């Protein structure tokens, strides 16, 4: 069994690439079903967030069913109709133990832009649920993702990693506070009433914002959120008027194309009569065309521009990160031991087959010519089988001892080496038999 992850994230690629390779829910389900139809015995989970796109796969190591990182990269290219040369240098790929460590680190927010953020575990769980819906997850990835959930929970409950401002939304508001002298008096427009939009509202209220308006494509959803937090709400077709009167706009709407492009946005800025507009666009794909930042009076920041605030966040959590990684390493070892134990059973069965084959070959070579009709033939066969079983029992006892003292992986390697030698012996015996006249 081989576990592979191929992906890119905020550290390996800019937002210009990530937004082109992002998946929404419908695309995720379609991609998982396509992969499963191509590789029936393999397992797949696809994780797509504002900061990462990752494909996880567990497959057997055979020419027909093994799924390579190269194939997954080509799949991303074909699915999004983007030449692989456009993003190949941004990709990373891990196998087996490294793949497991990566997922546990991701799920625990230790690999997040904002260490300690709680949104990532919800996103990982949602990705796993989509894989279950698409029936693309199986025994290996089921176990792996539940291991990731447990790891995240332990890190959050045994460290202080989640204290303070620990979300992209929180960092966006902190950036707004740095760039706008008196945020309490600012008119803030929040574009999008999803989970990220709600987090933005919570952080804005926490820092004293009194004039907040949410604008959402679904007015009812926006109205529901506005009533819960005591803020204003406007319908989607009022979004331009809201931007004309705003000091700050923070966008997190889930769309596949820009809501605003530079040309039409000039009309909005003309109606503002030279007043400065701060836009923080934390959506992926982005809501505002990047070239809008070239306009006078506009300061446009994307999620990748939050790095300075993020770096301060990381430095305050160095001890928690170290404690979290200790938990990750232990759980990686436990999971790989479980995988190794799965591999031992079939290997032992294969070892038994090889031992029996060797004994049968030796008996067949012995009972030739006049010995074919020997009266002791049946008795000798029983005796040889008994000896083989006793030797197997000794070997299996030793395998169990190695597994207990050094882990299932080491035991699997030990059995694998015996199987390899046994296969060589069988091959040599067969060759000798073929060479006989």
Residues known to be catalytic: 50
Residue 272 backbone dihedrals phi, psi, to 5 degrees = -90, -10
Cis peptide before 84 (omega within 30 of 0): no
Sheet holding 92-95, edge to edge: 43-48, 52-59, 2-9, 92-95
Burial track 275-311 (b if 16+ CB lie within 10 A, e otherwise) = eebbbbbbbbbbbbbeebbeeeebebbbbbbbeebbe
| CA distance linking residue 166 with residue 118, whole number of Å | 8
Whether 331 contacts 150, CB under 8 Å: yes
Dig out the tokens for 76 from the structure: 């991303």
| CA distance linking residue 101 with residue 161, whole number of Å | 18
Residue 80 CA, chain-centre distance (Å), reads 19
Residue 316 CA, chain-centre distance (Å), reads 26
Whether 305 contacts 113, CB under 8 Å: no
Write the DSSP assignment of 371-433 as a string of letters: GGG-TTHHHHHHHHHHHHHHHHHHHHHHHHHHHHHH-HHHHHHHHHHHHHHHHHHHHHHHHHH
Whether 10 contacts 22, CB under 8 Å: no
Rounded to a whole number of angstroms, the distance between the first and last alpha carbons of the chain is 43
Q: Which secondary-structure segment (H or E) carries 143?
A: helix 139-158
């Amino acid at each position: 069994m081989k576990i592979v992850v191929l992906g890119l994230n905020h550290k390996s690629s800019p937002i210009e690439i990530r937004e082109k390779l992002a998946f929404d829910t419908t695309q995720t389900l379609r991609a998982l079903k396509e992969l499963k139809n191509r590789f029936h015995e393999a397992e797949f989970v696809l994780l797509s967030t504002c900061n990462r796109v990752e494909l996880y796969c567990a497959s057997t190591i055979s020419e027909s069913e093994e799924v390579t990182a190269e194939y997954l990269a080509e799949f991303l290219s074909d699915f999004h109709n983007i030449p692989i040369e456009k993003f190949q240098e941004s990709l990373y790929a891990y196998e087996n133990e490294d793949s497991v460590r990566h997922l546990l680190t991701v799920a625990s927010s230790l690999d997040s832009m904002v260490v300690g953020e709680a949104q990532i575990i919800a996103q990982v769980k949602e990705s796993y649920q989509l894989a279950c819906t698409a029936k693309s997850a199986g025994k290996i990835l089921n176990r792996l993702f539940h291991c990731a959930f447990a790891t995240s929970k332990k890190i959050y409950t045994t460290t202080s990693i989640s204290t303070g401002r620990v979300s992209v939304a929180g960092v966006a508001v902190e950036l707004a506070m740095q760039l706008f002298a008196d945020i309490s008096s600012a008119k803030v427009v929040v574009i999008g009433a999803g989970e990220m939009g709600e987090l933005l509202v919570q952080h804005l209220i926490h820092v004293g914002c009194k004039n907040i308006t949410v604008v959402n494509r679904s007015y009812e959803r926006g109205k529901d959120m506005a009533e819960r937090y005591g803020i204003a709400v406007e319908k989607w077709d009022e979004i331009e008027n809201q931007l004309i009167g705003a000091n700050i706009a923070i966008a997190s709407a889930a769309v596949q194309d820009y809501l605003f492009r530079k040309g039409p946005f000039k009309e909005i800025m003309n109606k503002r009569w030279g007043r400065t507009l701060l836009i923080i666009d934390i959506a992926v794909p982005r809501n505002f065309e990047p070239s809008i930042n070239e306009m006078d009076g506009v300061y446009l920041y994307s999620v990748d521009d939050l790095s300075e605030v993020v770096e301060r966040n990381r430095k305050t959590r160095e001890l928690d990160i170290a404690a979290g990684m200790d938990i990750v390493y232990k759980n990686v070892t436990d999971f790989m031991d479980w995988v190794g134990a799965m591999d031992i059973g079939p290997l032992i069965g294969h070892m038994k087959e090889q031992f029996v084959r060797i004994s049968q070959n030796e008996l067949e070579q012995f009972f030739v010519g006049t010995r074919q009709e020997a009266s002791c033939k049946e008795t000798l066969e029983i005796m040889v089988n008994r000896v083989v079983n006793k030797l197997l029992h000794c070997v299996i006892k030793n395998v169990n001892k190695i597994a207990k003292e050094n882990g299932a992986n080491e035991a699997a390697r030990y059995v694998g080496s015996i199987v390899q030698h046994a296969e060589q012996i069988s091959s040599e015996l067969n060759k000798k038999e073929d060479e006989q006249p």
